[in-house]
Amino acid sequence: MKKSRKSPKRIFLTLNIGLLLGMAAACGSNIGAPIGSAHATEGIAISAPATRITEPKAQQVAVFAGGCFWGVEAVFERVKGVTRVESGYSGDTKATADYNLVSAGRTKHAESVRIYYDPARVSYNDLLHIFFSVAHDPTQLNRQGPDRGKQYRTAIFPANAAQKNAARTYIAQLGKASYWKKPIVTKIEPFSFYPAESYHQDFMVKNPRHPYIVQWDKPKIANLNRLFASRAR
């Protein structure tokens, strides 16, 4: 009896179908689902951090989690003073920083972004301001827009004590101002970051017509340009 052999074409199709199904599970498995708050699509004008932060002159990093990393990455890639942005996972170990595990909710990771920035051009406080205003909705618990699960939670992973204090102080400031009808649920967690798979990097740049990007993420860029015109590229 002859052994059956898959043709290269069949293998290629199988791999790509698996990849597409996986990508849908990570971001956009509920494309078209109603969003829980208008702020995530409209953006919201909020006050900047009232307390100053002292930072080193050398390049710094900031790590934020605010739902699907595609859109959060795209927002910060368009901020002046930001030199590089990576999509990845924060909140658990390197061993579990795997797309299939995270997207299935089988780890403690959150989809996150690591932002490299020049403090002389944009401060950590500036990044916090943008994060809470246009990058995501800080009042959605364990979800963001159409995506559900702890992997889509809102969280900040400070790289040092100054960032931790700045984040805590700003969350308190925003809470007192009552910009949202619901309370802010953003958590401050220990620093960690592991880069995601290569096909997630620069996703909006590579896939500008992806249905999820068009519906949920391009409005964030429009809000960045509208509310932070002087800081947007």
> Considering 26, 63, 65, 68, which one is annotated as catalytic?
68
Is residue 27 part of the annotated active site? The answer reads no
Distance between alpha carbon 208 and the CA centroid of its chain, in Å? 17
Q: Is 129 exposed, middle or buried (0-12, 13-18, 19+ CB in 10 A)?
A: buried
For residue 180, what are its two tokens?
A: 């949202």
CA-to-CA distance for 166 and 124, rounded, in angstroms?
A: 8
167 membership: H or E segment, kind and range: helix 161-177
Q: Give the integer Cα–Cα distance in Å for 152 and 26.
A: 9
Structure tokens at 69: 């990393």
Neighbour tally for 28: CB within 10 Å: 22
Residues marked active site are found at 68
